[in-house]
Amino acid sequence: MSAEVRDNAAAHRFELDAEGKTAFAYYTLAGGVITFTHTEVPPELNGKGIGSALVRGALEIVKARGLKVIAKCPFVSAYIGKHAEYAGLLL
C-alpha cells in the first residue's frame, strides 16, 4: 500500500493507492454532514484489507474535521458497525 488516504474534494471521493491501483470512497458533503454513497476497490485488491484501510483513513479525516456521517454505503455502514470508535460520528 502507498502512504495515506487522501481527500480528492474535486471528485467528491477519498482515495487510497495500493499495488498500482486506486480504491475510492465516494461522498457528498453538505452542512457539516458527509454522506458516504459508494466504496469501490479494484477486484484484484479484494480481500487484502484495502477497503477497510480506505474507510478507516477517511473516517479519521472526517473526525478531525468535526463532520457527522451518514453511511448510505453498505461497506462504510458495516465498517462503522464493527468499529465502535467511529459510531459517535453517525448522524
- At the top level of CATH, which class does the domain 6-89 belong to? alpha beta
What is the predicted pLDDT for the residue at 13?
98
Phi, psi (5° rounding) for residue 50? -65, -45
Query: Per the structure block, which three cell numbers stand in for 57?
Result: 483513513
What is the predicted pLDDT for the residue at 62?
97
pLDDT digits (tens, 9 = 90+) for 17-73: 999 999 999 999 999 999 999 999 999 999 999 999 999 999 999 999 999 999 999
Q: Where do the domains of the chain lie? A: 6-89
pLDDT grade for 1, boundaries at 50, 70 and 90: very low
Q: Is the pLDDT of residue 2 over 80?
A: no
How many other C-beta atoms are found inside a 10 Å radius of the C-beta of residue 74?
11
Collect all residues with Cβ–Cβ distance below 8 Å to 47 and sequence separation of at least 6: none
What is the predicted pLDDT for the residue at 3?
60
